Structure formats: C-alpha cells, structure tokens
Copies of this chain bind each other. A is one copy, B any other.
Amino acid sequence: MDKARRDMLKMVASVAGGVALTSMVGNALFARKVLSKTEEAGKVPELPWPYKKLDPVAVAERAYAAYWKGACCYGAFEGIVGELRQQVGFPYTVFPSELFIFGEGGVAATSNLCGALNGAAAAIFLLTGGLEGEKREKAFKIIQELFQFYEQEPLPNYRPKNPKYEIKPSVSKSSLCHVSVSRWCKATGFKAFSPQRKERCGWLTASVAKYTVELLNQYVEGTFKVVHPLPSEVQSCRSCHDKGGALENSRGMMDCNICHFTGKTKHP
C-alpha cells in the first residue's frame, strides 16, 4: 500500500469515526431535549398547578381504592392528584402522594382533623392556591366551603360501585375525626374500630374527594359560590369572640356548640 492510499484509508476510518460520533451527538441532542423537559422537573412550576376538569365519580372511585391502600388523607389527595397524574402527567409525576398517609385517622391516628378533609384541602391549595394573598384567599374560600359541607351534610353521600358493606350517613357537626367518628357510631350503633366504621370512612373519603372536584370544576368554570355558609349561631359567637369583636379572644370556624355549652353549661 502506498502512502496516499494509507492516508486515504486513515481518512475514511476517521470519517467513519465521525459518523459514529455524529450518532452519539444525536443522542446527546435527544438527551438535552429530554433534559430540558426534566429541567422543568428540577424546578417544578409555581402554584397553582395545572388543573383539568375531572369526572367526580372517577375521582370518588379512585379515592375509595386509594383509601384501602393509604387511608383517608392519602385517599382524598390521591383520588384527585392520581387522576391528574394520569390525564396531565408532569408535574404530578414528580409528587410523592404517599406523603399524605401522614393524615390517617386525624393525623397519625390522633383523631384531630379528618384526614379526608386534610388531604382534600391540600389538593385544593395545590390546584388553586399560591403564595400571594389573593391566591391564598381564593383557595381558602373553596376549602372553607368543603369544611362546612362536611360539618352540615349527612355523609357519606357517595356509595362506591363495589362496597364491602352498606353504610348509613350521619351529620358530623365537626371537621374533627374524633367527633365525626363518635357521632357516626352513636347514629348507627357500630363500634369505632368495626369493619363497618372503616368502610364508612372509605365512603366518606370518596364523598369528600367527589365534592372537592365538583368545587374545583365550578372554580375553573367561574361558577363557584359558597352554598354552605357558617351557621348563624357560629357567626353570632364570632361577632364578639373573633376578629374585630369586642372580646377578640379566640378564632375559629368550627361549630361552637359541639364542645361549648354541652350538658348543663350555659353561656355566662
């Protein structure tokens, strides 16, 4: 082989190498494209995250199934956010919904705030809220409507398609797990740790998730309005005890009489 031929062969080999490299560059550009997408993931968008109108029954069924996996708070949150993960994808794909198992049984079984309400409130804020005062207020109005619905309506009001038991509703008069469970036990005669009570909380999780999505759908349609205002008795108490009242020695939107003035105790 003469020198020119050897040079030519070297050049061809070099070009062939270049082709391989070009292919790798193609991969690199593809990787960069995916990267720019995941760079979004690295930043996750500001609140509110994109909401797409959802089917309340699909959400209720998903919430009921999720309840049996991770209890009430996870159930309500995942019922809504899991549906968005499926229909919208990112950024819901990078959110660890399992976090909301923390709210089980009124947060870690302490029977404080009803877990379904806690999870649904978080979802409402994720989808309508934000740091700015105006965004907060809008989200808070929807959450407050949900809480009053929960206190005032006979619940659960959604029957899952494949229930384990038939469940009768009761009016909780409170957003607390402790009161909600106790009043349902009193109304139905079932024990607090019976399979029926657990089923009731599954139906309740589905009912709360369903109403939450109805409210969110109304919100994006521009038709949301408060239909469960604070009871007049609570407003009366607040007129002295809450913000701007003569005493202003408390704050609250829960039903006052469920704890105060029980039995023989009267207002002083």
A residues lining the B interface (CB < 8 Å): 3-4, 7-8, 10-11, 14-15, 17-18, 21-22, 24-25, 27-28, 31-32, 34-35, 38-39, 41-42, 44, 46-47, 49, 69-70, 90-91, 93-96, 98-113, 117-118, 121-122, 124-126, 129-131, 136, 139-140, 143-144, 147, 175-178, 181-182, 185-186, 191-193, 241-244, 248-254, 258-260, 262-266
Contacts and interface: CB of A to CB of B under 8 A. Distances in A.
A102 B260 CA distance: 27
A147 B248 CA distance: 26
A51 B181 CA distance: 35
Given A38-B38, A126-B96, A108 B192 contact: no
Identical subunits present: 2
Contact of A38 (B25, B39, B69): B39
Contact of A263 (B32, B95, B109, B264): B264
A144 B67 CA distance: 22
A126 B95 CA distance: 12
17 contacts: A4-B7, A7-B8, A28-B28, A31-B31, A98-B130, A100-B122, A106-B252, A107-B143, A108-B139, A108-B143, A108-B147, A109-B251, A112-B254, A192-B248, A262-B262, A263-B263, A263-B265
A75 to B, nearest CB: 13
A171 to B, nearest CB: 17
A122 B249 CA distance: 29
Most interface-central of A69, A125, A193, A244 (chain B CB within 10 A):
A125
A41 to B, nearest CB: 5
Contacts of A17: 18
Nearest to A147: B110
A74 to B, nearest CB: 9
B265 A264 contact: yes
